[in-house]
Amino acid sequence: RGKRDLAGKRVLISAGGTREYLDPVRFIGNPSTGKMGLALAQAALHRGASVTLVHGPANWEVPLGVQAISVISADQMQQVMLKSLPNADAIIMSAAVADVKPRDYSTEKLPKRSLPQTLPLEPVPDIVTQLAQLKKPHQRLIGFAAQTGDIITPALEKLHNKNLDVIVANPIDLPDSGFGSDNNQAIFLDLQGHKLEIAPCTKLQMAHHLFDFVISEGI
């Protein structure tokens, strides 16, 4: 692919999972590795965009030329995404944000004997919903829905409830796709009712398919 069809565009990507700590050594988290967000950053860079990548704990190197901001919790990711929003033409929330956090945080490691039997939880902010409320009409907002079983129904609900332009319905219960894999498969859905199924491919190929889809609708 030689085309630089994102030249002059600014792409803001969130990647990886957030961690919600209970004490310095224990957290609520999820299996996201951030590889899909990394692939999106690589694809956007390759196509000429200026790229900001906001990512949770990761074990990969950030590509040269990408502005990376690392965060740990959903609250931190929210702050960085809100601050970065005005400077973006397209925003892709591929991060697996925790849905809840422990209500209490202990700065000292809790001894095993004083760990609570049940853990009081609090919701974390829905970042992409907030971005949707603040975004300007020219900004494109793309979300991911990692689902099991029927992926389309919940993805369409999220597309509409969260006010997104596009959602990537992403099965995580099939072999060689989803969390941690180098490969992926998905169905892209948009507000106009378009539906595009992408057969299993590498996450980098998936990233290019997504930019093809978003660019074809104008960005």
CB of 126 to ligand C5P, least distance (A): 4
- Edge-first strand order for the sheet with 10-15 is 67-70, 50-55, 10-15, 90-93, 140-147, 166-171, 183-190, 195-202
With binding defined as CB under 6 A, does residue 95 bind ligand C5P? yes
- Tokens 């029927």 correspond to 150
Q: What's the CA gap between 87 and 139, in Å, rounded?
A: 10
Is 182 marked within a binding site? no
The least distance separating ligand C5P from the CB of residue 189, rounded to whole angstroms, comes to 12
Instruction: Tell whether 128 is in a known binding site.
Output: yes
The yes or no reply on residue 75 touching ligand C5P (CB under 6 A) is: no
Among 15, 41, 90, 124, binds ligand C5P (CB under 6 A): 124
Question: Is 125 flagged in the annotation as binding?
Answer: yes
Closer residue to ligand C5P, CB minimum distance, 7 or 105: 105
Whether the CB-CB separation of 204 and 211 falls below 8 Å is answered with no
> Please, what is the minimum distance in Å from the beta carbon of residue 8 to ligand C5P?
25
Residue 50 belongs to what H/E stretch?
strand 50-55
- Classify residue 71 as exposed, middle or buried by CB count within 10 Å of its CB (0-12, 13-18, 19+): buried
Smaller CB separation from ligand C5P, 110 or 187: 187
Q: Which residues are catalytic?
A: 30
Which residues are annotated as part of the binding site for CTP? 99, 109, 125-128, 144, 158, 162
